[in-house]
Amino acid sequence: MAYQSINPYNGETLKTFDGQTNEQLEISLVTADACFDRWRQMTFAHRAIIVAKAATLMREQSEQFAMLITLEMGKLIAQSRGEVALSADILDYYAQHAEHFLASEHLIPSTGEAIVVSEPLGVLFGVQPWNFPYYQLARFAAPNLMAGNVVMVKHASCVPQCAMAFAQLWLDAGAPIGAYTNLLITHDQVNRVIDDPRIKGVALTGSAEAGKSVAARAGLNLKKSTMELGGSDAFIVLDDADLDKTVEWAVWAKMNNNGQCCVAAKRFIVVDQLADLFLEKFSTALALLKPGDPMDITTTLGPLSTEQALQHLLAQVDRAVANGAVILTGGKRIERQGAFMQPTILTNIKPVNPAYDEEFFGPVALFFRVKDEDEAVILANDSDFGLGGSIFTQDVEWGKFVASRIDTGMVFINHPTWTTPDLPFGGIKNSGYGRELSRLGIQEFVNKKLIRVDAIDASA
Ligand code: NAP
């Protein structure tokens, strides 16, 4: 299988890479496995020097890292720079805090001593998506490397240059060969890696379909897995919301990364009282976005990641309309070179419409008008997904109460769902299981081993 780097702004094929053979894959596995024995013996302080060095190098080479993102998947260059900075922050965060997060816990049993220690599991395998080509890798690699595991990664096939740049980063930072391995492999080879006894845990970020396949395979092998999957986040506007500020966030929540975020707002649920005004302001703001070269800092609307992604989204919109949805604005590709889609708002989406349950991964907003808070909550929870969500109200206590009624892994008040190194990230339902980032993320792939000291006297 070929890994292709294609610029979605102009369709130019930048580079093509051959996939790895099974023999090459075996060499990578042997190397990673051997590296684990060495890596796990290193102190936290020693590993932290390497991880922090990787952070420094990312910042020093920010422009090269950022340009690769924009070239391979079309992210606006300012956002690419932001992603590089965020990725470096994640590396630093775990370099600084891992030892504390994994400190041994002394229990207080009725007799003797009991200690829970956190030990690494071994070689971990991550399958990662293209939408945040470094951030996704950083949030998998940093905690796990700091915990003493080593990692192998199969990145999405459309961002091979980012995948390779991130792997090179670790060598440049002084990590031993095998601590971080990039794999250019097929889906069949993904299964082969999961089956391999040297692999001790599996983490996937991607679509629910990929998650089902990879989680099932991990389950067959009785291997621990974490799944960070898609979402259809609700953006709830309550009747006392500050509308101008809320609409500004609505545009960001929908259009950041051109709508290709797992936690992008996908369903805008607005109470009747504000609905018309919200729609007017929201569609006016979307119409101001300016398509163009994502390398140009003045561009505000970039292409989708690939031509296939655009075709998939257009087909979803067509299907939604065929099933009764109404296009309020947009709905078509932009007639120019590149994989550009008009910012789109769909309304009148009934539960029988397939769009009601689908994730729209791009600049397409689904709009719902509701009577009140209760209707908003029922609608927000009527989804197979359970990743994030946001609530806009001037009454923060009310916002917290409504948040307690939402069935997702994350709810933000007066801000779209977003991510920083110190906040846990993850979902429930078809959005997956497990958490990445924060103190929780580093606990997923460690052996919480009990060491017990008790009386030797059997009669005691
Ligand atoms: P995707 O098609 O599921 O791909 C993700 C990764 O899985 C890629 O490396 C892909 O490889 C691989 N893959 C896909 N199907 C596979 C299979 N059957 N067996 C083995 N590997 C497989 O998702 P995507 O289009 O790249 O990313 C978008 C999705 O990711 C959205 O649903 C988004 O919401 C979700 N996402 C979730 C989070 C989160 O934290 N919850 C974060 C970001 C994105 P190939 O590229 O070679 O197909």
Domains of the chain: residue spans and CATH: 3-229+431-451 (3.40.605.10), 233-413 (3.40.309.10)
* Residue stretches of the chain with pLDDT short of 70: 1, 460
Of 290, 266, 267, residue with least CA distance to 342 = 290
Looking at the CA of residue 206, tell me the nearest atom of ligand 1: 30
Which residues does ligand 1 sit against, CB inside 6 Å?
Answer: 127-131, 154-157, 187, 190, 205-207, 210, 213-214, 228-231, 262, 359, 361, 387, 427, 431-432
Helical residues (DSSP H) of 102-159, grouped into ranges: 135-146
pTM for this structure? 0.97
Residue holding tokens 């051997």?
Answer: 34
Backbone φ and ψ of 248, nearest 5°: -60, -45
Give the residues across from 201 on adjacent strands.
124, 224
Q: What is the CA radius of gyration of the chain?
A: 23
8 A C-beta contact, residue 429 and residue 385? yes
- Amino acid 299: pLDDT: 98
How many residues comprise the chain?
460
Taking the alpha carbons at both ends of the chain, their separation in whole angstroms is 64
- 291: β partners: 301
Provide the 8-state DSSP code for 259.
G
Mutate to test the pocket of ligand 1, among 158, 207, 387 (most ligand atoms within 8 A of CB): 207
Determine the Cα–Cα distance for residues 328 and 297; give it in Å rounded to an integer: 29
CA of 156 to the centre of ligand 1 (A): 7
Residue nearest to atom 8 of ligand 1 (CA): 156
Q: Are 249 and 237 in contact (CB under 8 A)?
A: no
Q: Is the distance from CB of 430 to CB of 230 less than 8 angstroms?
A: yes
- The C-alpha atoms of residue 78 and residue 298 are separated, in whole angstroms, by 10
pLDDT at 23: 98
- How far does the centroid of ligand 1 lie from the alpha carbon of residue 393, in Å? 34
d(CA 422, CA 95): 13
- Angle, helices 62-73 vs 160-172, to 10°: value is 160
pLDDT at 373: 98
The set of catalytic residues is 228, 262
Q: Report how far residue 354's alpha carbon sits from residue 139's, in angstroms, rounded to the nearest whole number.
A: 33
391 Cα to the center of ligand 1, angstroms: 27
Helix pair angle (135-146, 44-60), 10° resolution: 160
Question: Which class for 66: exposed (0-12), middle (13-18), buried (19 or more C-beta within 10 A)?
Answer: buried
Per-residue model confidence (pLDDT) at position 2:
79
**Number of the ligand 1 atom closest to the C-alpha atom of 132:** 43
107 phi and psi angles, rounded to 5 deg: -85, 170
In the DSSP assignment, the letter for residue 437 is S
Torsion angle of C-alpha atoms 358, 359, 365, 367, degrees rounded to 10: 40
Q: What is the pLDDT of residue 460?
A: 66
Structure tokens at 432: 């997956």
Distance from Cα 162 to the centre of ligand 1, integer Å: 16
